[in-house]
Amino acid sequence: MRLAVALAAIALIAAAPPTRRVAVALPDAEGLLPERYSVSSEAANNNCLACHSAAMITAQPRLTRVQWGETIAKMRNVYGAPIDPADDKAILDWLVAD
């Protein structure tokens, strides 16, 4: 009986049509944050996109520099975000750029 099952499995595998590889190009999930009035987005891209999508970040309400600074501190101190303190000024410059 085992031999019959094994032979049937081999026959099914042998009769299966061959598979082929298909290449699929996927777009970037969200992309990077845009430059704002010649203010570089590099620091924001390097720090913020680790946890947030670009769409989520750009949909945020306008905050003051102080409010954004408090938000960055909260992300770092409460949520443990690995935001480099050396990048705070550049991130804030980008967040408050008009």
Q: What is the pLDDT of residues 46-78, one digit of tens each?
A: 999 989 988 899 899 999 999 999 999 999 999
- Whether residue 72 contacts residue 95, with contact meaning beta carbons closer than 8 Å, is answered with no
pLDDT, position 62 = 92
| Superfamily of domain 30-98, CATH level 4 | Cytochrome c-like domain (1.10.760.10)
Q: Which pLDDT band holds residue 2 (cuts at 50, 70, 90)?
A: confident
Axis crossing angle, helix 88-96 with helix 65-77, rounded to the nearest 10: 130
Residue 23: how many other CB atoms lie within 10 Å: 4
**Average pLDDT of span 8-22:** 77
Segment 34-48, tens digit of pLDDT: 777 678 888 999 999
Closest CA to 48 of 73, 96, 79, 83: 83
**Average pLDDT of span 13-25:** 76
Quickly list DSSP for 6-18: HHHHHHHHHHSPP
- pTM score, whole prediction: 0.65
